[in-house]
A and B are shown apart, each in its own frame.
Chain A
Amino acid sequence: MSDHRYTRRLVLTAALALVVPFPAVHAATTVTLLNVSYDPTRELYVDYNAAFAKYWKAKTGQDVKFNQSHGGSGKQARTVIDGLAADVVTLALAADIDAIATLGKLLPLNWQSRLPHNSSPYTSTIVFLVRKGNPKGIRDWGDLVKPGISVITPNPKTSGGARWNYLAAWAWALRQPGGSDQSAEDFVRRLYKNVPVLDTGARGSTTTFVQRGIGDVLLAWENEALLAIRELGSDKVQIVVPSLSILAEPPVAVVDKVALRHGTRDVAQAYLEYLYSKEGQDIVARNYYRPRDPEVAAKYANRFPQLELVTIADFGGWAKAQRTHFAAGGVFERIYAP
């Protein structure tokens, strides 16, 4: 081989040798995951992340650090689409992760089939949180539209929980005698007339109701309501279980393009899979989410009231529900004017 060709190969090899090991060196010791989640899961992921870090260290010897981002589910999805480098998303509803897949093209369209239970390792539902003693006598959805009742619920444009709230109200209205799309629309219109403040996310609404003392009833994630009672005490607030609610299935997914770029694909996948493990499900239940695992569910059965639940399938799936109710020009924009 001539001198100049040898020299050229030597230089290029040296350049590659300098560049290639750099990411590998860091990956061997510590990895950081960014989990972009919806609003009320802060306490859940504090507990869960600690448990997973311990599990992963024991299994692989690698340290895992976590960065958490919380906010309204829809808002969080848009932030990821706009470039927030989430390794995983754990959002309130499938439509928000669908948006990341279709608009952000950051994960495949079939993401929901990659983990059990349509990628929802836990469920929840919507209940009412009222002042202790229930001074306004709120029993069911119909009471929310009475004059003088102030209802706290977040903005469905930004909050996943708000969309579950809205759909639960719609489903109840449909079930009433003479129920129709028109009567349901009229019902939610009257409901939102009684909403003085629209927070961007579920946690914000809890703050409005519990700490700012605004409103007579909070439409809350079940886990938020149970957490509020634990934090504030049962002498301040109480839960009212409506006759009908909705099965909320918050999904989780690896954001493939980001995880591959960061070199965190394997640990991100394991992070989500661990949610389905016995320990993961136990942590989920301890934080007031309804676990999927039958054994863990039985262990915590007393914590969760039994009630009739509709599902998103009753609305034709999230794509249809999003298009009909929450997209630009949808029902919510028709019935609500700030």
Chain B
Amino acid sequence: MQPRLICLAIAVLCAWCGVVHADEQTEAQLLQRLEQQEERIKVLERKLEIQDETARTAAEGAPVVKASTKGFSFQSADGANQVRLRGLIQADGRFLVEDAGLGGVDTWQLTRVRPIIEGTLYNFVDFRFTPDFGQGRTVIQDAYLTARFSPALRLTAGKFKSPFGLERLQSAYDIRFVARAFPTSLAPNRDIGLNFEGDLFGGKLNYALAYANGVIDGGSSEALGDVDVDDKKDWIARLFTQPFADADSFALRGLGFGIAGSYLKQTGTAAQPLLPAFRTSPQQTFFRYRSGATPTIADGERLRYSPQFYYYVGSCGLLGEYVQVSQEVARTTTAGTRRATINTNAWQLAAAWFVTGEEETFRGYTPNSTFIPGQSWGALELVARYHELDINDEAFAGGGASFADPTVSASKAASLEIGINWYLNQNLKWELDYGVTRFDGGTATGDRDDEKFFLTRFQLGF
């Protein structure tokens, strides 16, 4: 074979070997690259897993912040600790068509301006702090701790609503009239002490037993400087049942009734008589005990009791209570010291009807719609009540030595009020009440003239 041919053959053979070898290398490289890509994918997937796990763990331990129509809250991840911020602002108007000679003035006022701080610690202790900046004052309305040992036993210490009056126990946010009724004028408001309370029989029976400083009828402890004036304490007890709370019958579920009582022995002084004055819904004072140099003072036992009930079915609700207070009083004049037991009683029957079909309840309300101009109107409620307060004639007997001056103080006030409440949404409410109050006595010549009034309220609550 010629050398040229041999060289050509060799060259062709080498080229062919190079091609084969290059293919093999490319395949090996491709396989390696594939393995590397697979490894990278596995690594990325694992990193994503770790990232998800870390985010999940962080979320589990992260505090929960909420903002809703019920206020603002900060809560630990496990819910055992939380702080809630709520508030209540009530801007009221009081307009007297007839002031019954009591001298009241028409006025706008901020009745309640309350930031409310409440919460729970360790899922065991609840707390509440409510300062109030309304009416030109700063008052601590609530400041208490409640230890929840079980549903059947809660212990509250601090300043709290006395477990007595039914309407008083209804939140200011929920009351259906601008002013509370006469029975609440006889019930204690906020007091300082201890309260044992619990729910029995699946929540159908609530009991409360409080041992507190004692406050005057309708009053709160800040009127006495948030301290007691003597060693004697007020015992307050209440039983309230909703026996048909889980009944099959829809009509009976909303029925609740109970009785409350309180007992205190106390002695007032000229500087601090420890006796109440009574006011009408527009806050006009129509009864007070004699004051001045020879005042009437509390001197002995004060016994209160109050049967009470409510009934809610569908869009209608009825609330009623009766309060009687038997108070031993004394007055020292130049003629000597007179003592007597003065019985004061008050009762009310209040009805409410959600025209727009919402459910009436003792606590809270939920409008079916919110006010959007041109689209929806929120909830509308019509309310009416009759309430009266009667001081027995013993208070006025004795002429100049009487415990109360019949030429100034009425022995009875009876009021009929109607109203309309417009709930724009869960948080905004507008109220308008019209009422007429009739008096027995109260002037030198006989019965005081009727009082006629309008009350209105613009309320923001959350």
Measured CB to CB, the residues of A under 8 A from B are: 2, 4-5, 7-8, 11, 15, 18-19, 22, 71, 79, 82-83, 150, 196-200, 204, 208, 212-214
B155 contacts chain A at the CB level, 8 A cutoff: yes
Write out, one digit per residue, whether chain B residues 33-70 have a CB within 8 A of any chain A CB (1) or not (0): 00000010011011100100110010001000000000
Please, which residues of chain A bring their CB within 8 A of the CB of B211?
A: 11
Measured in the bound complex, the distance between the Cα atoms of B50 and A198 in whole Å is 9
Measured in the bound complex, the distance between the Cα atoms of B57 and A317 in whole Å is 31
Measured in the bound complex, the distance between the Cα atoms of B147 and A336 in whole Å is 51
Write out, one digit per residue, whether chain B residues 216-259 have a CB within 8 A of any chain A CB (1) or not (0): 00000000000000011100000000000000000000000000
- Shortest distance between the CB of B112 and any CB in chain A (Å): 32
Are B50 and A200 touching (Cβ within 8 A)? Answer: yes
Q: Given A19-B149, A204-B50, 17 other A-B contacts at CB below 8 A? A: A4-B233, A7-B233, A15-B155, A15-B194, A15-B196, A18-B155, A19-B147, A19-B155, A79-B61, A150-B39, A197-B46, A197-B47, A198-B50, A200-B53, A204-B53, A212-B45, A214-B46
Ordered by A's residue number, 22 sampled pairs between the chains whose C-beta atoms are within 8 Å are A2-B231, A4-B232, A4-B233, A7-B233, A8-B231, A11-B211, A15-B155, A15-B196, A18-B149, A19-B155, A22-B149, A79-B61, A83-B76, A196-B39, A196-B43, A197-B43, A197-B46, A198-B50, A199-B50, A204-B50, A214-B39, A214-B42
Measured CB to CB, the residues of B under 8 A from A are: 39, 42-43, 45-47, 50, 53-54, 57, 61, 76, 147, 149, 153, 155, 194, 196, 211, 231-233
Please, which residues of chain B bring their CB within 8 A of the CB of A214?
A: 39, 42-43, 46
What number of A-B contacts does a CB cutoff of 8 Å give?
48
> Which 8 residue pairs spanning A and B have beta carbons closest together?
A196-B43, A4-B231, A11-B211, A214-B42, A197-B46, A212-B46, A4-B232, A208-B46
User: For residue A208, which residue of chain B has the nearest CB?
Assistant: B46
Are A213 and B42 touching (Cβ within 8 A)? Answer: yes
Measured in the bound complex, the distance between the Cα atoms of B60 and A82 in whole Å is 13
Q: Kindly identify which residue among B76, B194, B231 contacts A11, using a CB–CB cutoff of 8 Å.
A: B194
Please, which residues of chain B bring their CB within 8 A of the CB of A150?
A: 39
Are A18 and B46 touching (Cβ within 8 A)? Answer: no
Measured in the bound complex, the distance between the Cα atoms of B157 and A11 in whole Å is 13
Are B233 and A8 touching (Cβ within 8 A)? Answer: yes
- Shortest distance between the CB of B428 and any CB in chain A (Å): 38
User: Which of B42, B46, B54 has the most chain A CB atoms closer than 10 A to its own CB?
Assistant: B46
- Shortest distance between the CB of A131 and any CB in chain B (Å): 13
Please, which residues of chain A bring their CB within 8 A of the CB of B76?
A: 83
- Shortest distance between the CB of B123 and any CB in chain A (Å): 12
- Shortest distance between the CB of A84 and any CB in chain B (Å): 8
Measured in the bound complex, the distance between the Cα atoms of B49 and A200 in whole Å is 11
Please, which residues of chain A bring their CB within 8 A of the CB of B50?
A: 197-200, 204
- Shortest distance between the CB of A6 and any CB in chain B (Å): 11
Q: Kindly identify which residue among B42, B46, B231 contacts A5, using a CB–CB cutoff of 8 Å.
A: B231
Measured in the bound complex, the distance between the Cα atoms of B51 and A178 in whole Å is 40
Please, which residues of chain A bring their CB within 8 A of the CB of B39?
A: 150, 196, 214
Measured in the bound complex, the distance between the Cα atoms of B231 and A79 in whole Å is 50
- Shortest distance between the CB of B211 and any CB in chain A (Å): 5
Measured in the bound complex, the distance between the Cα atoms of B61 and A83 in whole Å is 10
User: For residue B49, which residue of chain A has the nearest CB?
Assistant: A212
- Shortest distance between the CB of A143 and any CB in chain B (Å): 18
Please, which residues of chain B bring their CB within 8 A of the CB of A7?
A: 233
Please, which residues of chain B bring their CB within 8 A of the CB of A5?
A: 231
User: For residue A196, which residue of chain B has the nearest CB?
Assistant: B43
Please, which residues of chain A bring their CB within 8 A of the CB of B155?
A: 15, 18-19
Please, which residues of chain A bring their CB within 8 A of the CB of B43?
A: 196-197, 214
Are A200 and B54 touching (Cβ within 8 A)? Answer: yes
Measured in the bound complex, the distance between the Cα atoms of B76 and A213 in whole Å is 38
Please, which residues of chain B bring their CB within 8 A of the CB of A11?
A: 194, 211
Measured in the bound complex, the distance between the Cα atoms of B42 and A19 in whole Å is 58
Please, which residues of chain B bring their CB within 8 A of the CB of A83?
A: 76
Please, which residues of chain A bring their CB within 8 A of the CB of B232?
A: 4
Measured in the bound complex, the distance between the Cα atoms of B211 and A212 in whole Å is 67
Measured in the bound complex, the distance between the Cα atoms of B153 and A325 in whole Å is 55
Please, which residues of chain B bring their CB within 8 A of the CB of A213?
A: 42
User: For residue B36, which residue of chain A has the nearest CB?
Assistant: A148
- Shortest distance between the CB of B348 and any CB in chain A (Å): 33
Please, which residues of chain B bring their CB within 8 A of the CB of A198?
A: 50
Please, which residues of chain B bring their CB within 8 A of the CB of A15?
A: 155, 194, 196
User: For residue A155, which residue of chain B has the nearest CB?
Assistant: B50
